[in-house]
Structure 1
Amino acid sequence: MLRSDARDNRDRTLEAARELFADLGLAVTMRDIARKAGVGPATVYRRFPTKQHLVVEVFTDEMRVCRAIVDDACADPDPWRGFRTVVEELTALNVENRAFVEVFLAGGADVEMLADHRADLVRELAGLAARAQAVGALRRDFVIDDLVLVLLAARALSSARSADPAAAARRLAALAIDAFRTSDVNGALPPAPRLTTIVQQL
């Protein structure tokens, strides 16, 4: 059981980390987090021995939200509707937190402890996409990297000088969904970039 002052320091550290990761991504340092939390670096390291431990603590909740989005979409009897929901909600989540894509993508020592969570999510998304393709709604040449590409593009919206980044995210998601939809006028796509090592392992 933590003493009340130790618990307060831990809570302030986590809150500071959430805000800095959301605004600036994972590049922030432990000293940055300590400064924003109003505690000494030693206090931060006492609770979180490495930055990786702090990242995992902060993003466990984010990954839980992400998993709920994906699970609900996969449970939808209409796979195309479920796929659209994933695009819309993950794009919105990404705009709210700049570090989301960094955590979602494989690689980087700071997030490797979440690798199993990411791999499970990508497998679920791949299954959902396959079902949407099977009913003829999602274009046949879609690959999961295309969804990651949209998330990477949405990431910039959080730092853009937009009065309403959430509205911009909705617009981007709608444009992406329209591009993903099967159509008689779909043109051939260039080769898909490999944006996550998870996709290569599936």
Structure 2
Amino acid sequence: MTADSESGRALRSDAERNRQRVLAAARELFAARGLEPNLNDVAHHANVGVGTVYRRFPTKEDLMEAIFEHGIDQIAALAESALQQEDSWEGFVWFVEHLCELTATDRGLREMVYSKAYGGYRVECARLRLDPPVTRLVERARADGHLRPDIEPSDMPIVSLLAGTVSEWAGHVEPALWRRYVALLLDGMRNHDGQGRLAVSALEDEQMDTAMRGWLPAG
């Protein structure tokens, strides 16, 4: 191996380390503050030069794209893991709790996933990937009689948004408060004898799309 090739490998290795450092700093910053911080803020948080950030991610959109893909990978992995659980109710509960943990502790992720302000095509791609496993989770729990019959897959993002809202409002007082309300929501979603139908139906796809287009987070 020549000195030039060794030098090239070292430079590529340094570049990848810097890229991962920037991504980690951005995820941490966006999780705490939402999508308002700019690339200069990310550079400061990562303790690297601004040029280092711009070489890896020329625009904030490029940086958000990488973070968005990571977040969707996390949610998809949660859904697939939940489907592997033999008991459909336990799998459903496990998924809802872990999904809510993500959205309650990562403000930036919930702003990206549940608003179309930062690129509707990303949200559409995420929906195509996430809808099938989430639908299977809901339908399986309903078919087994665990989940009330009027719960729909489109209820899941709204439940996770509720957890995020609690965390954003009172997380500085009690970081785990969202867990209390997720437990209450899960109890309300469980099938019981004598339940009447919910007064309002779940959002349909077109309504969900309209709601996502209307929510414009501060970033």
Does residue 98 (structure 1) correspond to residue 107 (structure 2)? The answer is yes
CA contact (8 A) 2:104 2:163 kept: yes
Note closer, same or farther for the CA distance 1:38–1:146 as it changes in structure 2 (3 Å cut).
Answer: same
CA contact (8 A) 1:146 1:192 kept: yes
Corresponding position of 2:167: 158
Match of 1:88 among 86, 97, 106: 97
CA contact (8 A) 2:112 2:118 kept: no
Does residue 65 (structure 1) correspond to residue 74 (structure 2)? The answer is yes
Note closer, same or farther for the CA distance 1:133–1:70 as it changes in structure 2 (3 Å cut).
Answer: same
| Number of aligned residue pairs | 199
Corresponding position of 2:56: 47
Q: Secondary structure at the match of 2:107?
A: coil
CA contact (8 A) 2:104 2:164 kept: yes
Extract unaligned runs of 5+ from structure 1.
none
Which amino acid is the alignment partner of residue 91 of structure 2? G
The TM-score normalised by the length of structure 2 is: 0.76
Residue by residue over 1:140-197, the C-alpha shift from the partner in whole angstroms, topping out at 9 and shown as x without a partner, is 111223221111111123332445423x232122111111112223453313345643
1:139 CA drift (Å): 1.4
Does residue 141 (structure 1) correspond to residue 153 (structure 2)? The answer is no
CA distance in 2, matches of 1:56, 1:146: 25
The TM-score normalised by the length of structure 1 is: 0.81
CA distance in 2, matches of 1:71, 1:119: 15
1:117 CA drift (Å): 4.0
Does residue 192 (structure 1) correspond to residue 213 (structure 2)? The answer is no
Corresponding position of 1:27: 36
Note closer, same or farther for the CA distance 1:173–1:96 as it changes in structure 2 (3 Å cut).
Answer: same
1:114 CA drift (Å): 6.5
Extract unaligned runs of 5+ from structure 2.
1-8, 211-219
Note closer, same or farther for the CA distance 1:9–1:76 as it changes in structure 2 (3 Å cut).
Answer: closer
Residue identity over aligned pairs, in percent, reads: 35
1:115 CA drift (Å): 4.3
1:90 CA drift (Å): 0.8
CA distance in 1, matches of 2:123, 2:200: 31
Which amino acid is the alignment partner of residue 172 of structure 1? Y
CA distance in 2, matches of 1:52, 1:34: 15
1:106 CA drift (Å): 6.1
CA contact (8 A) 2:39 2:53 kept: yes
1:109 CA drift (Å): 3.6
CA contact (8 A) 1:79 1:131 kept: yes
